[in-house]
């Protein structure tokens, strides 16, 4: 590993499945985090201000777990975990790049500061070589 910091790679290969969607926009992780944060804030504000809300009867469901809502025993109200929302925004980014291959390749090019030279369809190459052998 230590020599990789001094010497650059000659080639970098990324093996992915064929793209099914043409989406190539990069994922805005900060926008996703702020969106999740605003939803969590609205939910906690609404529940805390509701006159019939009782913290003792609160039980987390899927929505509350998804947005990191937790009990604050000291203040007798609900709060939300900002770190949990950031973590879930990162999971959303992972799912986005798993779905949109071209966006993933574009993000990889941007991170590595390299341009993509070309793509090779290995499925076609395997089909052609196995067909020629028979």
Report the alpha-carbon distance of residue 31 to residue 37 in Å, rounded.
Answer: 10
pLDDT for residue 18 is more than 80: no
User: With 80 as the cut, is the pLDDT of residue 30 above it?
Assistant: yes
Sign of CA dihedral 60, 34, 30, 93: positive
Contact (Cβ atoms closer than 8 angstroms) between residue 46 and residue 129? no
pLDDT at position 1 over 50: no
In this prediction the pTM is 0.71
CA 89-90-96 angle, to 5 degrees, is 90
Tell me the C-alpha distance between 19 and 99, whole Å: 9
Question: Which residue in the block uniquely carries the two structure tokens 């969607």?
Answer: 21
Average pLDDT score over residue span 64-71: 86
For 132, the 3-state DSSP assignment is helix
Mean pLDDT across the chain, nearest whole number? Answer: 81
Provide the pLDDT for residue 51: 84
**16's tokens:** 């992915």
Over residues 73-118, the pLDDT tens digits come to: 777 788 899 999 999 999 999 999 988 888 888 898 888 888 877 7
**Residues 60, 69 contacting (CB under 8 angstroms):** yes
Q: What is the DSSP string of 57-95?
A: G----HHHHHTTEEEETTTTEEEE-HHHHHHHHHHHHHH
């Amino acid at each position: 590993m230590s020599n990789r910091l001094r010497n650059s790679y000659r080639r970098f290969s990324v093996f992915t499945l064929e793209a099914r969607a043409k989406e190539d926009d990069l994922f805005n992780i900060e926008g996703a985090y702020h969106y999740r944060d605003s939803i969590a804030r609205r939910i906690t504000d609404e529940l805390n201000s509701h006159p019939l809300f009782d913290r003792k009867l609160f039980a987390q469901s899927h929505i509350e777990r998804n947005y990191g809502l937790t009990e604050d025993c000291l203040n007798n109200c609900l709060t939300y975990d900002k770190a949990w929302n950031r973590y879930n925004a990162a999971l959303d980014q992972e799912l986005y790049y798993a779905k949109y291959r071209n966006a993933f390749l574009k993000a990889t090019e941007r991170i590595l500061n390299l341009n993509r030279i070309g793509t090779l369809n290995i499925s076609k190459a395997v089909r052609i070589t196995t067909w020629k052998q028979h």
